[in-house]
Amino acid sequence: MSRLSVMLSGLRLENPIIPASGTFGFGYEFSSWYDINILGSIALKSTTKTERFGNLSPRIAECRNGMLNAIGLQNPGVDAVILQELPKLNKVFSKKIIASVAGFSPEEYVYVAEKFDAVDQVGILEINLSCPNVKENGVTFASCTKTVFSVCQEIKKKTSKPVYIKLSPNVSDIVEMAICAKNGGADGLTLCNTLLGTVIDTKTGRPVVSTKVAGFSGPAIKPVALKNVYQVSKEINIPIIASGGICDADDVIEFLSAGATATEVGSQNLVNPFVCKEIIEELPRKMEEYGIKDLKDIIGRSHYVQ
């Protein structure tokens, strides 16, 4: 199955299918459903310096062609993840994982990144910049060119593993943000986090989710995510992990064609816990159907096909 394999900053993945952060727990929870070692890698739940309860309920709402979530980075804190969660995952998953780093200040990002950098199990540090910067009146790190650059730069000074910056689509120019990340030393990018949306209860007239506005994900956002990957990969030559509305093997082939090297499957895991397994099994059949000999051959082909 080497024709399914891809490379992310020196890390070889047997296939480009990665469950996205926040939709697969800490991975081992899914091992009772199927052998998760078939996955290319696993992106852990976003982790902060200390334990977080998250937002009040309700935190999830369904909507047409997608869902809203406002979990609020609920997690046990980086020390508990390393000491308790990763050993459980290590018993059922033998490959390198992607640690999702979150924080509310530059210093917290660096602290968590350093902790994960020391863990052999971790292959890539994915920096989730869609967190509010408490020092800048709650403006998200991903919406400011200065903080995208500086947070990446500071993390790179303190870590040795590949750093992938996870950007937000809720900006005026995603290419500008991606360039700032690369200039800050990013080894790769994850494009992108959720859009923003709301759902109104038609009986009461109140927003359904407690935070009123929440992250919007699912099949409906795929064209936006594809556009972001296409535009960024055209301007920047670093690996991209694509995320946004991926449900099947055709979606994966689209994202690789647009310029991604690997893909993260997000909210569809909550709809169908077998979706990643099904995509991996479906990919060889789709490759045969479309005459694709090796997935690496199609990365970015949308930029040069006639």
CB–CB of 216/242 below 8 Å?
no
CA nearest to 53, candidates 68, 70, 27, 72: 72
The 3-state DSSP class for residue 109 equals: helix
**120: how many CB neighbours lie within 10 A of its CB?**
8
Closest CA to 71 of 108, 20, 31: 20
Q: Would you state the pLDDT for residue 305?
A: 76
CATH class of 2-54+72-194+218-303: alpha beta
pLDDT at 137: 61
pTM assigned to the model: 0.96
The confidence score (pLDDT) of residue 136 equals 67
Sequence-separated (6 or more) residues with CB below 8 Å from residue 179: 235, 236
Mean pLDDT by 10 residues, the chain (306 residues): 92 98 96 97 97 94 93 96 98 98 96 98 96 70 94 98 97 97 98 94 96 95 98 97 98 98 97 97 98 98 87
* Active site positions, annotated: 131
pLDDT at residue 53, as a whole number: 94
| pLDDT score of 131 | 78
Residues 6+ apart with CB under 8 A from 230: 258, 259, 302, 303
CB-CB contact of 156 with 130 (8 Å): no
Q: Tokens standing for 130?
A: 């869609």
Distance CA 273, CA 303 (A): 33
pLDDT of residue 139: 77
